[in-house]
């Protein structure tokens, strides 16, 4: 199981890639569905999670999920 770590100011994530993917997708989906703009700090946090997922080999350079 691959573990990742990401942080942005007061927000941090330390856990497995499956949970990280789920968290990033859930946050983006919630803001997309609401039509509201995501606060910059939260957007940066989600971006940091996605970069960590790239580093772990789960997302490609375009942030698409890598298929095994």
Record the pTM: 0.91
**Alpha helix ranges (H) inside 1-68:** 17-34, 40-55
Instruction: Give me the pLDDT at residue 1, please.
Output: 79
**Rounded to 5 degrees, what are φ and ψ at 64?**
-95, 145
Question: Exposed, middle or buried, 46 (CB in 10 Å: 0-12/13-18/19+)?
Answer: buried
Positions of the chain with pLDDT lower than 50, given as ranges = none
């Amino acid at each position: 199981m691959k573990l990742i770590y990401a942080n942005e100011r007061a927000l941090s994530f330390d856990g497995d890639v499956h949970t990280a993917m789920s968290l990033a997708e859930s946050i983006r989906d919630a803001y997309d569905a609401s039509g509201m703009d995501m606060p910059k700090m939260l957007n940066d946090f989600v971006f940091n999670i996605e970069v960590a997922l790239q580093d772990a080999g789960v997302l490609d350079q375009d942030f698409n999920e890598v298929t095994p």
